Amino acid sequence: MAAAALRPAILRRIRLSPSPSLALAAAGAGAPRPMSSHDAHLTREEVVDRVLDVLKSHPKVEPSKVTPEAHFEKDLGLDSLDTVEVVMAIEEEFKLEIPDMEADKIDSLRLAIEYVANHPMAG
């Protein structure tokens, strides 16, 4: 089954946990700076750091294996369902909606970083 076909089913069935930065803010550990589409575009370094953090926080990923060049399946052992979940987590992290046709192409951190870094509304 294609990842695009899995996506609507996943969205109906899963409940996303709050991002670690929101949990820290709720615990009083300091609020993250809110981002909006009116802010200056993110630097590539910020995109890399945040995409790596998203992958490191995925329950099926060994954080020590996460590198900017890691492939989701070959290097991190993720299946197509996991990949859909990761792309959705990236969408949530950067307040983006990645069209299914584009999301199906994202199978590595390198491609995820490139997509976000080149997206004008990434926040």
**Residue numbers annotated as active site:** 79
CA distance 80 to 72: 9
pLDDT score of 12: 57
**50 pLDDT band (50/70/90 cuts)?**
very high
Find all residues with CB under 8 Å of 37, minimum gap 6, and list them.
95, 121, 123
Find the mean pLDDT for residues 56-60. 95
pLDDT over threshold 50, residue 24: no
Judge whether 122 and 94 are in contact, CB under 8 Å.
Answer: yes
pLDDT digits over 64-110, tens only?
Answer: 999 999 999 999 999 999 999 999 999 999 999 999 999 999 999 99
The CATH class for the domain spanning 43-123 reads mainly alpha
pLDDT score of 30: 44
